[in-house]
């Protein structure tokens, strides 16, 4: 690959510091919707801000992440419990999954408290790919 093409690729990609920087939400939007947005990371209650605060970019951002988190850590495991061979793996993996979900939920709640629109690890990338 010629050096010119490599340079162009590097210029088009955001640097790691820029990618990690949270998007700042409108302070007025945050103040008006912070209370309902806290529900985003409490399982299926993510539907409340998703439906109640449709005009709020802040609430929608966190509700979408919370909904994907709930589906990944609650809905999919419940389906997998009913597959006979996978059941035995679920017995081992379930406690680990619960701890991971709890940590991601706490990170999300801290982001809401700070008024930041910061993506959760892994979940944020999934939400970008899914149009909810």
Tens digits of residue pLDDT in 1-37: 555 554 444 455 545 444 456 677 788 988 999 999 9
Owning domain of residue 67: 3-129
19 or 128, greater pLDDT: 128
**Cα Dmax for the chain:** 54
Residue 22, φ and ψ in degrees, nearest 5: -70, 150
pLDDT in tens, 84-111: 887 778 888 888 888 999 999 999 999 9
Mention every residue, 6+ apart, whose C-beta is less than 8 A from residue 23: 61, 116, 117, 118
Indicate the helix (H) or strand (E) that contains 24: strand 23-24
The total number of structural domains that make up the chain: 1
**Residue 7 pLDDT:** 47
How do residues 61-77 score in pLDDT, each as one tens digit? Answer: 999 999 999 998 888 88
């Amino acid at each position: 690959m010629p050096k010119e093409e490599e340079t162009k690729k590097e210029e088009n990609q955001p640097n790691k510091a820029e990618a990690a920087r949270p998007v700042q939400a409108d302070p007025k939007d945050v103040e008006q919707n912070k209370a309902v947005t806290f529900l985003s990371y409490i399982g299926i209650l993510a539907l409340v801000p998703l439906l109640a605060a449709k005009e709020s970019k802040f609430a929608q951002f966190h509700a979408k992440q919370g909904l994907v988190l709930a589906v990944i850590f609650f809905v999919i495991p419940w389906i997998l419990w009913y597959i006979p061979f996978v059941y035995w793996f679920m017995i081992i993996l379930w406690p680990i999954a619960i701890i991971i979900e709890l940590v991601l939920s706490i990170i999300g709640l801290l982001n809401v408290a700070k008024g930041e629109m910061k993506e959760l690890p892994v979940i944020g990338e999934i939400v970008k790919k899914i149009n909810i």
